[in-house]
């Protein structure tokens, strides 16, 4: 059953952190897997829920690790959110509580960020804002309280650093909720907007698309909700956290991307 479905796979969504690399090292089989996808011209995207950094940073990082990808193959939650707002709503002037990278993603998607004139904003888009100030947080709170449509690129509460957990987008969402009583519509993994932005770029249907990731609550939840073939790799989070979220069931669990590569070859999906 899983073999038959694997044989039909043409498009690939690949989580990056914990799936293709951990820290400064590629995980086993990741380089060969990515090289096979590139060589056989299978549409693929690399994903991250981090909306603070530019796509170029991820491309450089993967390149250094021996996994060259074009810039167009990098999909951040910021890029997916901006593309979804542009394609699925009539909103065009977000007040961006986020980094320059997120503002740039908005512009690229055809939106016109309203930060210079917040009174003209037609929505609020919150990301992982590593440059947040009291002034920007205040402006976002006032706009959210005024009733504007309110979105977030993702809702991860913390992100891991060598010194410990850092406040991520979810921490900013909490500050705004305490102040205004409102919570945003979340657009990154595992939400449908990330799926839609991904499939639009891949040009494949849900049926023939696979998601590979290391997190049950985001990557595998995205696969399960959308009906995509979901493959959990035990290289990162899931292994570390002892696999909570028991209601999420991946279609396949592998030790690392190298094992998935072998399975896909055996099923005839890859040369």
Contacts with Mg ion, residue ranges (CB under 5 A): 15, 17-18, 214
Cβ within 8 Å of residue 267, ≥6 positions away: 3, 4, 6, 7, 9
Note if 129 is an active site residue.
no
CA distances from 236 to 4, 165, 185, 226 (A): 27, 16, 27, 22
Distance CA 106, CA 104 (A): 5
Is 15 a catalytic site residue?
yes
Structure tokens at 164: 């410990």
- Considering the complex, what minimum distance in angstroms separates the CB of residue 15 from Mg ion? 4
Q: Smallest gap, in angstroms, from Cβ of residue 37 to Mg ion? A: 18
Q: Under a CB-based contact definition with an 8 Å cutoff, are residues 43 and 72 in contact?
A: no
In the complex, minimum distance from the CB of residue 237 to Mg ion, in angstroms, rounded to a whole number: 6
User: Running DSSP on this structure, what letter comes out for residue 157?
Assistant: -
Nearer to Mg ion, 30 or 114 (CB): 30
CA distance 268 to 271: 7
User: DSSP letter string over 168-210?
Assistant: -HHHHHHHHHHHHS--PEE-STTSHHHHHHHHHHHT--GGGEE
Give the residue with the Cβ less far from Mg ion, 12 or 95.
12
Considering the candidates 17, 129, 168, 251, report the single residue annotated as catalytic. Answer: 17
* Residue 32 Cβ vs Mg ion, minimum distance, rounded to whole Å: 19
**Nearer to Mg ion among residue 15 and residue 139 (C-beta):** 15
Which residue has the closest beta carbon to Mg ion? Answer: 18
- Measured in whole angstroms, the distance separating CA 243 from the mean position of its chain's CA atoms is 20
- Least separation, in Å, of the C-beta of 93 and Mg ion? 32
User: What phi and psi, each to the nearest 5 degrees, are found at residue 211?
Assistant: -115, 130
- Which member of 15, 156, 214, 219 is catalytic? 15
Q: Which is nearer to Mg ion, 15 or 83 (CB)?
A: 15
The C-alpha angle 25, 28, 33, rounded to 5 degrees, equals: 105
Which of 189, 201 has the CB closer to Mg ion?
189
Looking at the annotation, which residues are catalytic? 15, 17
């Amino acid at each position: 059953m899983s073999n038959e479905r694997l044989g039909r796979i043409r498009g690939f969504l690949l989580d990056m952190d914990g799936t293709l690399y951990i820290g400064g090292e590629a995980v086993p089989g990741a380089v060969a897997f990515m090289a096979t996808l590139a060589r056989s011209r299978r549409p693929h995207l690399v994903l991250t829920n981090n909306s603070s950094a530019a796509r170029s940073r991820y491309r450089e990082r993967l390149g250094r690790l021996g996994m060259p990808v074009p810039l167009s193959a990098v999909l951040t939650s910021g890029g997916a959110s901006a593309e979804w707002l542009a394609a699925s709503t009539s909103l065009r002037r977000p007040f961006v509580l986020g980094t320059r990278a997120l503002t740039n993603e908005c512009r690229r998607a055809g939106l016109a960020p309203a930060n210079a004139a917040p009174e003209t904003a037609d929505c609020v888009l919150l990301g992982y804002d590593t440059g947040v100030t009291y002034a920007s947080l205040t402006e976002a709170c006032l706009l959210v309280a005024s009733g504007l449509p309110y979105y977030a690129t993702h809702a991860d509460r913390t992100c891991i650093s060598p010194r410990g957990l850092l406040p991520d987008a979810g921490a900013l969402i909490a500050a705004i909720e305490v102040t205004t009583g409102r919570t945003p519509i979340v657009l990154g993994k595992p939400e449908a907007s990330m799926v839609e932005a991904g499939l639009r770029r891949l040009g494949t249907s849900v049926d023939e698309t696979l998601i590979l990731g290391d997190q049950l609550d985001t990557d595998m939840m995205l696969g399960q909700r959308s009906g995509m073939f979901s493959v959990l790799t035990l290289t990162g989070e899931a292994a570390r956290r002892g696999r909570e979220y028991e209601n999420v069931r991946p279609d396949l669990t592998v030790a690392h991307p190298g094992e998935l590569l072998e399975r896909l070859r055996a099923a005839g999906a890859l040369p």
